[in-house]
Amino acid sequence: MTTSIGETGLSRRSFLKGSGLAALGVTLVPLSALLASPNAMAAKPFKTLSPAAAKTLERMARDIFPHDKLADPYYRQAIAPLDAEAGKNAATASLLADGVSALDAAARQRYGRPYTAVAKEEDRVALLKAIESGPFFQKVRGNLVTGLYNNKALWPQFGYEGSSWEKGGYLHRGFDDIDWL
């Protein structure tokens, strides 16, 4: 049986294993990443993306992968690789700038305001569904998958305890906990 500790979603088993490893001086995730609250993370300005484009991509990221418990800085971290790639690749920079402009234009045409100012989530999702097969949407969505779900600091938020093969598999690590029989 897995029992959550507080709002973190960290299971008792994970906490005990992590604290035992920490006592031995072994860390899987930097302690600062676990202890830092999302509000404590400094918002670094992007090098290539304009502030308006970054704001649009952050809103888009939250609309594509909505997790109410995740703070905005985590979404900002997830789009940071797009900024880095746009700095190295003019085609990516153009794709992102043109995509954000087109998304804002569609939002203005339909709702009279830019994408980030559209209040209802279902209205923003309707705008995204209209462009979901295009290269801009696919680029952003593809990078967000790894940006969010490959972030080890976020795994406890999703209830994922990490890879199991190096620990002998799942058989004796909670997989056989059947408390409903």
pLDDT tens per residue, range 41-80: 445 679 999 999 999 999 999 999 999 999 999 999 999 9
Q: Which of 3-7, 27-31, 76-80, 157-161 has the lowest mean pLDDT?
A: 27-31
pTM given for the model: 0.70
3-state secondary structure of 15: helix
Does a structural domain hold residue 83?
yes
Q: What pLDDT is recorded for position 18?
A: 56
The answer to whether residues 25 and 97 belong to one domain is no
Other C-beta atoms closer than 10 Å to the C-beta of 169 total: 10
Look up residue 73 and give its two tokens.
Answer: 């800085």
The answer to whether residues 146 and 172 belong to one domain is no
Question: Which residue range is the domain that position 126 belongs to?
Answer: 44-151
* pLDDT over 60 (residue 91): yes
Split at pLDDT 50, 70, 90, the class of 22 is very low
